Structure 1
């Protein structure tokens, strides 16, 4: 029986958990795998596959859609994460799936605030009221703290040394 390695990321739990699932795993088998590596699942947690917009739904005996080796499985209390982005004197809000990456928020902000490609390349997202600049491939649920399902970013210039 062929097995796939998957990577599990859990809201408010740093790091990635590696696990194996059979090639044609059902939703029930995926849930059992997640619980077997120490992640508690209950009625308030949702499972997202990669950057899917909607949580994994279905009966325990249904196959996991698009199951593939190396996929990321996100376990989150949030169905959506509201991202607020401030740029100069403007602000915008948009909701993203928990598995969406910081780069998706930046792309949305660049489009919303109509930045030129040059300006976009010179700006990064920084968590509001901090100096934290999460990597572009960080899933949003990794940044959410407490029981809230929202994040705040400032779109700020990335300082560059020109010589």
Structure 2
């Protein structure tokens, strides 16, 4: 059997935990790997492979078909993260899976607000009421806590040039 490395990310815990699974692993095998890593889960927990839109099924015998080397496995109480993006006087919300990366949220906002691609390239997402600008590779799960399944961004210019 071929072994692959996966990265386990538990809601409310900032560190990635490295795990090893067979390429033919089942949901049961994943549950065992999570337990071995000390990650708690129950019937109210959702498990996502990468940026999958839907959580894994509860059928322990199901094979993890989308399993690949280096995938992040998200264990979260959130089935969806309510994501608000503010741009100028506009605001809109969309519900994403916890494994969605910030770059995809920006792509959605650019389409939603019909921003010219040249202008979009000069803008970044910044957490509302802060100066924090998460990298485009950050997942929404990393920006929420274990109680709140929501995140808010402002789409702002990356640099201000005055002159």
- TM-score clears 0.5: yes
Give how far 1:118 is off: 1.3
Instruction: Could you tell me which runs of 5 or more consecutive residues in structure 2 were left unpaired when the two chains were aligned.
Output: none
Q: Deviations over 1:23-71 (max 9, x none)?
A: 2111011011011111111112110001100000041122112222211
Please give the per-residue CA displacement for 1:114-134, whole angstroms capped at 9, x wherever unaligned.
111111011100110111110
Q: Deviations over 1:60-83 (max 9, x none)?
A: 122112222211111111001110
Contact 1:103 1:137 (C-alpha < 8 Å) held by counterparts:
yes
Q: How many angstroms apart in 1 are the aligned matches of 2:126 and 2:102?
A: 10
Which residues in structure 2 correspond to 1:61-140 (within 5 Å)? Answer: 61-140=61-140
Give the unaligned 5+ runs of structure 1.
Answer: none
CA contact (8 A) 2:124 2:155 kept: yes
Confirm or deny: 8 A CA contact 1:27 1:58 kept in the other structure: yes
For residues 75 and 84 of structure 1, do their structure 2 counterparts lie closer, same or farther at Cα, with a shift above 3 Å needed?
same
Q: Report the RMSD for the aligned CA atoms in angstroms.
A: 1.4
CA distance in 2, matches of 1:3, 1:146: 31
TM-score (norm: length of structure 1): 0.94
